[in-house]
Amino acid sequence: MRGSRHYSSNKWSGDWHVLKSLLPYLMDFRMRIAIAMACLVLSKVANISIPFVLKYIVDSLDTVQNQLLVLPLSLLVFYGILRFSSIILGEIRDTVFGRVTEHAMRQIGLRVFKHLHELDIAFHLSRKTGGLSRDVERGTAGISFLMRFLLFNIIPTLLEILLVTFILFFNFGWPFALVILCSVICYIVFSIIVTDWRTNFVKKMNEMDNKTNTFAIDSLLNFETVKYFSNEDHEAMQYDKNLAQLEKARMDNRLSLVTLNSGQAIIISVSITIIMVLAAQRVVTGAMTLGDLVLVNAYMLQLFLPLNFLGFVYREIKRALADVEHMFSLLETKPTVTNPTSDIKIEFHEGKIEFKNVSFSYSEDRKIIDNVSFSLPKGQKYAIVGPSGSGKSTIARLIFRLYDINAGNIFINGTDIQTVPLQNLRKLIGIVPQDTVLFNQSIFYNISYGNPGASREDVSKAANMAHLNEFIASLPDGLDTLVGERGLKVSGGEKQRIAIARMLLMNPSIMVFDEATSSLDSSAEKAIVNAINEISENSTSIVIAHRLSTITDADQIIVLRHGKIIEQGKHLELLEKNGTYSRLWELQQQSSLTTTVSENLIT
């Protein structure tokens, strides 16, 4: 029981925290909020006045009390004006406040989007895109719901309950006011208890919705793998299992909703019945007029209609609060790679890259980089080779500060990169990654991403330098050809050339090629290597290579094994050592010879 009370306390605290977090986004439109609140007050005044006008209309038409029947035209006109005012003021209120809501949704959506991009690579490697997109989508929708219904439904309804209770007490005595207060309290307490009970079903339904959506997106993104293994039926079966769990969660949620609605209906029916019996008795004794009976009945209907809606709103507000809280929890996720607030910029004209006793591990039980030190002067070409899992690509990630090192220092031109703002650091470095993923846009867009302000002529020049000109010329739409989701409409070699062109357009001081020719054939590889050598002549370049034939001209070659530098030197120097590099070279030469013989036999 203690745990339960503690949870409830935390939950209410979390709800208030969410509401307080929304307040700053409302402050840009104080005048609009003031106008909306004024319309709200005037609308409620008109709404409260309607039953009184209706009472006087009925009393004036009561032929028992008024032997001479006179049409109360002015009261009927006034009744119509109040009805119209109540509706139109509500419409004006919603229209005026709509701008506030939309602007807040835009601001928060942008903030979440920017924050997600600020989070480090560790977060993005572990996230589930489908579930994350649903969290943001539901959170944004929840903001709209909270702002509209919390301000313009719950608060006004509670205010109206107090006003109606006071009116009935002042005009007809405490029994009427007591029935109203007791019924409202019972209704609210019952709604809160049952809604809190239902929250578990709603959460389960949301979890299954996220899981189902995530599975569907993951399966569709990997459609090629599904087809390779003829696993369409397997995917459909797994998806159906998720759908079955989602179906059950929805049914449980719907049954709990029946319980809530039935209980609310009983409370409303009993309350109205008691009030009408009290009023009817007083009409019979002459203590109340027929108009008073109509007044009480109108107030009861007018009160319980929004109160009935209040049950739905409370349920949805609890759900919206959970959705918004979930989205705000993304904003509270802190990146492990901290971004310095200084204005330090690295000048690279005389600089060099230096690793000094650098160690790094993704987890405590496995060290990826172990006390690595090397120095790369400006304008030189450094190559990093080694078996798979030796830490080659990790070195590139550390230079970018996609991860922070556990020990040691990395300097560029004598400046520790951990003291430099990430944007300033990363604008200095261009990369052709091992696994090139493209945007579902045109070739032009993907190349120009290296320099969004570049002209079409500059993009074409970069494409030519990356030997894309023949490929682009063969396409009907040329540079405007769409590459498909994740670049699936172009081959692996073409994706890497686009990545090379994108980096060339950026014109960075440091160039990193992470197995940039791994998807190219021998002819294309030679052309790209020549292009890389040409463009990196005046830049510092780090080439992470699997094919040793692409780095024979490197100024320095580092051989990694289990995160440690085991050999270092030029190509010929390393061959003379007859060590790991020499053995890798011999194996690749034999493999290359076998491939060449096979190609000759085929032709």
Could you report the per-residue pLDDT of 162-189, keeping only the tens digit for each?
A: 888 888 888 888 888 888 888 888 888 8
Mean pLDDT rounded to a whole number for the chain: 79
Domain spans of the chain, in order of start: 17-332, 352-602
> Is-contact 560 386, C-beta < 8 A?
yes
Strand 369-377 relative to strand 415-416, pairing: unpaired
Q: What is the pLDDT of residue 409?
A: 92
The number of residues in the chain equals: 603
pLDDT value of residue 64: 46
The share of the chain scoring above pLDDT 70, in percent, equals 85
- Beta strands 381-385 and 540-544: pairing type? parallel
Q: Residue 386's pLDDT band (boundaries 50, 70, 90)? A: confident
Average pLDDT over residues 136-155: 76
What's the CATH class of domain 17-332? mainly alpha
CATH of domain 352-602: 3.40.50.300
DSSP labels, 489-546: TS-HHHHHHHHHHHHHHH--SEEEEESTTTTS-HHHHHHHHHHHHHHTTTSEEEEE-S
Q: For 60, how many CA atoms within 13 A lie in the half-sphere containing its CB?
A: 13
- pLDDT tens digit sequence for 322-379: 788 778 777 777 777 777 777 777 766 555 788 999 999 887 777 888 888 988 888 7
What is the helix (H) or strand (E) element at residue 579, kind and residue range? Answer: none
Element (H, E) at 174: helix 174-221
Interatomic CA distance for residues 142 and 16, integer angstroms: 15
Q: Is 257 exposed, middle or buried, given 0-12, 13-18 or 19+ CB atoms closer than 10 A?
A: middle
Contact between 531 and 516 under an 8 Å Cβ cutoff? The reply is no
Check: CB of residue 100 under 8 Å from CB of residue 288: no
In terms of DSSP H, where are the helices of 401-521? 422-426, 443-448, 456-465, 469-473, 492-506
Burial class (CB in 10 A: 0-12, 13-18, 19+), 524: middle
